[in-house]
Amino acid sequence: MPFGSYWQREEIMPLNQLEELRVKRLRWVVRRAYDNVPFYRKKMREMGITPHDIRRIDDVVKLPFTTKDDLRANYPFGLVAVDKSELVRIHMSSGTSGKPKVVAYTERDLENWINMVARCLYMIGVRKEDVFQNLVSYTLFTGGLGFHYAAERIGAMVVPTGTGNTEKQLQYMVDFGTTAIHATPSYALRIKEVAEEKGIDTQNLPLRIGCFGAEPWSDNTRKRLEEAFDLKAFDSYGLSEMNGPGVAFECEEQNGLHIWHDHYLVEIVDPETGEQLGEGEKGELVLTPLTKEAMPLLRYRTGDITYLMGFDRCSCGRTHPKIHRIIGRADDMIVVRGINVYPSQIEHVLMNLPEVGDHFQVVITRNGSLDEITVRVEMRDEIFTGELRDFSRIRNNVMRALQKELNIRVNVDLVEKGTLERFEGKAKRVLDLRKEL
């Protein structure tokens, strides 16, 4: 399967050939949705369009958007374009409320997905000789099996530990000689913390590659992870509705994520108006999968905020463009006194301050008609001396750094290490108490 330094030759396909392939696949997926999914046929007829109106990539703007509410409204198989007998697997993403979003796969869908994730892992150096420890859920969450089968496809030895039992996870890393891991950034930081408690030096582990995703994280968190485990930390992006992980991934440059244009048509739109934005303009990522048989979604609004970094040829040789790492989610944005704040902005500031630890929580309250934002952050034991003046100095430093980044006054509550909740999956950083008033 490997093609020189690449997993598949499509990774270095010339741009003109890539464009021809994308047009062909876009027309195929639109026809498939129209002919086989009543939801899309009704939508397109209401808009006065047919598959014949889609001739070029730019024609995608004529198509209707699809949202997570559409998936829930069509639960479980209302958006499936094949007979149920052709489905070989389902995954689900429940979100926070309502019916889950069901994602269905044919055998070819699984094959495409495995190879996309294998592309990502091969791109960052995972090889047959590696021991790949997968520290995410193996239930209906796509991250577990997505990485598992891809690492096996490459030939690596997979250790399917899943989440939890952190002491055992560390022991397996030592005993099996784990060289690559997949986890959420917050859980990796928890592993580091438990290792410190047990007197295990994580820098002495044979780890060299870390794949991190499922939640927004900053370059400063990357630095902490790389220093803690003596590895290279790579950002991963995916979502269940697009198969799962493998939609986009960083290469060795660690500067933006290659998004696989032979499988996904990418748009950035204004979250409010839905209008397309240009290269470098920050907005909501909209994806149309070009090769999905079971569920051919059109213009799916991911809710993730990012921007296109362009088509400049990367030093790794891949011709597929990059998106900036995910800045936050449109529905995670906090509006405080008219200012838009993303938890990832707060994380970026805190992870750059040597006095504070790896865990924080954002609490939003309302005092009369005035919104208040309080950041609860743990201190590092080795920094705090117990002197009141040190406590006050550190608190003021954190407050100034946050105000400079956010352009809003932020209360800071310094707490002892171990005070805040730890997470094995996606971290829940924001507690908005305004909703309870």
Between CA 57 and CA 321 the distance in angstroms is 15
Q: What percent of the chain has pLDDT over 70?
A: 96
Residue with tokens 């809710």: 303
User: Three-state DSSP class for 312?
Assistant: coil
pLDDT at 136: 93
CB 197 within 8 A of CB 227: no
Terminal CA-to-CA distance of the chain, rounded, Å? 58
- Let me know: does 185 contact 217? Beta carbons within 8 Å: yes
Question: Closest by alpha carbon to 321, among 19, 6, 49?
Answer: 19
Read off the pLDDT of residues 239-272 as tens digits, 9 standing for 90 and up: 999 999 999 999 999 999 999 999 999 999 999 9
Position 306 pLDDT exceeds 80: yes
97, 312 contact by CB (below 8 A): no
Please report, rounded to a whole number, the percentage of residues in the chain having pLDDT higher than 90.
69
Angle between helices 185-197 and 219-229 (to 10 degrees): 40
pLDDT at 436 over 70: no
The CATH fold of domain 1-330: Rossmann fold (3.40.50)
Q: Are strands 411-415 and 370-379 parallel, antiparallel or unpaired?
A: parallel
Range 313-316, long-range pairs (CB < 8 A, 24+ positions)? 314/251, 314/253, 314/258, 315/253, 316/123, 316/251, 316/252, 316/253, 316/258
Q: Choose between 327 and 201: higher pLDDT.
A: 201
- Report the distance separating Cα 10 and Cα 258, nearest Å: 13
Tell me which DSSP letter residue 194 carries: H
Q: Which range in 87-91, 361-365, 395-399 is most confidently predicted, on average pLDDT?
A: 87-91
pTM, rounded to two decimals: 0.86
Please tell me which residue, 98 or 390, carries the higher pLDDT value: 390
Q: Rounded distance, CA 236 to CA 221, Å?
A: 14
Residue 319 near residue 13 (C-beta atoms within 8 A): yes
Q: Which of 123-132, 218-227, 380-389 has the lowest mean pLDDT?
A: 380-389
| CB contact set of 120 (below 8 Å; sequence gap of 6+) | 150, 211, 236, 245, 246, 249
Confirm if 169 and 161 have CB atoms less than 8 A apart: yes
Distance of alpha carbon 183 from alpha carbon 202, whole angstroms = 15
Q: 76: cis peptide before it, omega within 30°?
A: yes
Structure-token match 């509006």, residue found: 335
* Residues forming a β-bridge with 78: none
Residue 382 has a pLDDT of: 67
Q: What is the pLDDT of residues 337-392, one digit of tens each?
A: 777 788 888 888 898 888 888 889 998 888 766 788 899 998 887 666 667 777 88
pLDDT at 97: 53
Q: Read off the pLDDT band of 437 (50, 70, 90).
A: very low
**How far apart are alpha carbons 40 and 64 in whole angstroms?**
8
Question: What's the confidence (pLDDT) of residue 330?
Answer: 78
CATH of domain 333-436: 3.30.300.30
Whether the per-residue pLDDT at 96 is higher than 70: the answer is: no
Burial class (CB in 10 A: 0-12, 13-18, 19+), 155: middle
Bridge-based pairing of strands 334-336 and 339-341 is: antiparallel
pLDDT exceeds 50 at position 237? yes
Q: Where are the alpha helices (DSSP H) in 155-233?
A: 166-176, 185-197, 219-229
Helix 343-350 with 219-229: angle, nearest 10 deg: 50
Which residues, 6+ apart, have CB-to-CB distance to 12 below 8 Å? 6, 317, 318, 319
Extents of the domains making up the chain: 1-330, 333-436
Give pLDDT, residue 214.
85
Round the CA-based radius of gyration of the chain to a whole number and report it.
22
Q: Which of 298, 299, 295, 288 is nearest to 106 (CA)?
A: 295
Segment 123-149 mean pLDDT: 95
CA distance 337 to 341: 10
Q: What is the pLDDT of residue 227?
A: 94
Q: What pLDDT sits at residue 431? A: 84
Query: 3-class DSSP state for residue 260?
Result: coil
Q: Is the pLDDT of residue 405 over 90?
A: no
280 exposure class (CB count in 10 Å sphere: 0-12, 13-18, 19+): exposed
Query: What is the 3-state composition of the chain as percent helix, strand, coil, each rounded to the nearest 5?
Result: 35, 25, 40
